[in-house]
Amino acid sequence: MAENLVEIKRICPICKNKYGNKLKELHMMLPNEYGLPDAYDVVCCTKCGFVFADTSACQEDYNKYYEKNNIYSDNFCVKKANVKSSLLQKRRVEILEKFIEKDMNIIDIGFGSGELLQLLKKRGFMHLFGLDPSEYAVEMISNKGIKCIKGNIFDNCARELKNSFNVVVTTAVIEHIYQLDGLMTKVLEYLKEDAHAYFFVDAPAVEGFLKYLNPIPNNFNHEHINYFTLQGLDNLLGLYGFERVLEDKECYLDLDLKEEAIKDVELMALYKRTSVEREIRKDINAKKIVIRYFEKIGRMSNKIFELLKEEQEIVVWGTGSYAMQLLAENPEIISRISYFVDNNKQKYNVKIGGKSVFNPDILLKNDQKSLILICSMNNANDIKEQINNMKIKNKYFIL
């Protein structure tokens, strides 16, 4: 298909091709402090079939953003996110235990909460190491007796760490990285140059987009800029000599937690280092899945327009990707918003669409007439519980 053929700003992060099919133009509303563009095109590489965000930002912009907005290591996570996280961790440990010896050297790059490192330690893995840009995360994990240093994957690899690990682990990282070739070069730098070197990687699976039809910001947002199928992952890693050691079907973790309202498919794969560079096989599924997904999901919820008919001030609870895309796609809502509230204190010094972000406590002091719109992908039910526990009297609505 030659429709919407464009010359892309960000060359294909896998095969370096300059041309893509534009699948969708996405708008977000981001605080200026993020230093990231508020729109990008979702494109599909004409050569290898990889689907990614054709963003005008560069790796340096993302490095700065993550240094300041490291929500992954903060301990504000609430119950629901933890249920998903514990299932992911369980599967990661299962895979690693199947192939990796307990005395091998393992480095977790971008370890965030450090949950995986702690679990591996409990399971008897003896030589664990962590690298993370958050000072808080490093301090916390050091206190648990696990060696780690503060740093970004793109920093120079310390000499004593070079080629010294049997296993590099990156979880929930690869979908965020602008320069995938840079990431792969770094992975090779940390890995030993022998036959017992592995790379464990996971990412949200494009194969799950159509299955569960989650809202667009679940899958496409300012942080998630690469959209991997298993074929896409194989293509990227194959270029650097990695061969997958798990069967296709073992690489998908299907999460369908009705009670928690979490429905997602996660890709998890373990690769072994070889000296053979593999050729790219064009991914013909990614584009089809993403096009059909966008067709099916259409415009975001219509509920918002019904609510807007009433003359009422609005407080938006949640300042994540979901809220930002909703506002960018429906800017007429902004004038109706009094302010935002969020549990994440890192958000209190930013303004969104000129409106301030406060601690939810403000709702106890302020008027009780504003309608609270709960705008969170993963924590809506927890927020509902919090509203009830805090005895906040305002009406609320989950978007």
Backbone dihedral angles phi then psi of residue 315, each to the nearest 5 degrees: -115, 130
* 159 Cβ contact partners less than 8 Å away, ≥ 6 residues apart: none
Q: Which of residues 315-354 bind Zn ion (CB under 5 A)?
A: none
Min CB(50)–Zn ion separation in Å: 5
**Which residue number, 118 or 229, has a Cβ lying nearer to Zn ion?**
229
Beta strand 127-132 pairing with 105-109 = parallel
Min CB(217)–Zn ion separation in Å: 25
**Which residue number, 273 or 287, has a Cβ lying nearer to Zn ion?**
287
205: nearest Cα among 239, 245, 174, 178: 174
Min CB(48)–Zn ion separation in Å: 3
**Which residue number, 291 or 363, has a Cβ lying nearer to Zn ion?**
291
Q: How far apart are CA 167 and CA 96, in angstroms?
A: 9
Q: Does 95 bind Zn ion (CB under 5 A)?
A: no
Min CB(382)–Zn ion separation in Å: 39
Binding-residue pattern over the window 240 to 279 for Zn ion, x denoting contact by CB under 5 A: ----------------------------------------
What is the three-class DSSP state of 19?
strand
* Stretch in the footprint of Zn ion (CB under 5 A) among 7-15, 98-106, 184-192, 379-387: 7-15
Min CB(282)–Zn ion separation in Å: 9
**Which residue number, 46 or 325, has a Cβ lying nearer to Zn ion?**
46
Backbone dihedral angles phi then psi of residue 161, each to the nearest 5 degrees: -100, -10
The first and second tokens of residue 182, run together, are 């840079």
**Which residue number, 12 or 167, has a Cβ lying nearer to Zn ion?**
12
Min CB(63)–Zn ion separation in Å: 23
What is the three-class DSSP state of 280?
coil
Q: Out of 12, 28, 77, 270, which residue is the one contacting Zn ion (CB under 5 A)? A: 12
**Which residue number, 21 or 69, has a Cβ lying nearer to Zn ion?**
21
Min CB(10)–Zn ion separation in Å: 11
Min CB(3)–Zn ion separation in Å: 18
* Stretch in the footprint of Zn ion (CB under 5 A) among 8-16, 54-62, 250-258, 347-355: 8-16
Q: At what angle do helices 180-190 and 230-238 cross, to 10 degrees?
A: 60
The first and second tokens of residue 278, run together, are 């593999």
Alpha-carbon torsion angle 343, 349, 355, 356, nearest 10: 60
Q: How many residues of this chain interact with Zn ion, rule: CB under 5 A?
A: 8
**Which residue number, 50 or 178, has a Cβ lying nearer to Zn ion?**
50
Q: How far apart are CA 187 and CA 255, in angstroms?
A: 28
**Which residue number, 131 or 174, has a Cβ lying nearer to Zn ion?**
174
**Which residue number, 14 or 30, has a Cβ lying nearer to Zn ion?**
14
Q: Which of residues 15-74 bind Zn ion (CB under 5 A)?
A: 15, 17, 45, 47-48, 50
CA angle 307, 260, 215 (to 5 degrees): 50
233: nearest Cα among 252, 259, 217: 252
Q: 3-state DSSP: the chain helix, strand, coil percent, rounded to 5?
A: 35, 25, 40
Residue 232 · residue 287 · CB < 8 Å: no
168: nearest Cα among 151, 189, 182: 189
Residue 55 · residue 25 · CB < 8 Å: no
Beta strand 351-352 pairing with 355-358 = antiparallel
Q: How far apart are CA 85 and CA 199, in angstroms?
A: 20
Min CB(284)–Zn ion separation in Å: 13
Min CB(185)–Zn ion separation in Å: 18
What is the three-class DSSP state of 353?
coil
* Stretch in the footprint of Zn ion (CB under 5 A) among 4-12, 98-106, 199-207, 369-377: 4-12
**Which residue number, 47 or 211, has a Cβ lying nearer to Zn ion?**
47
Question: Which residues of this chain interact with Zn ion, rule CB under 5 A?
Answer: 12, 14-15, 17, 45, 47-48, 50
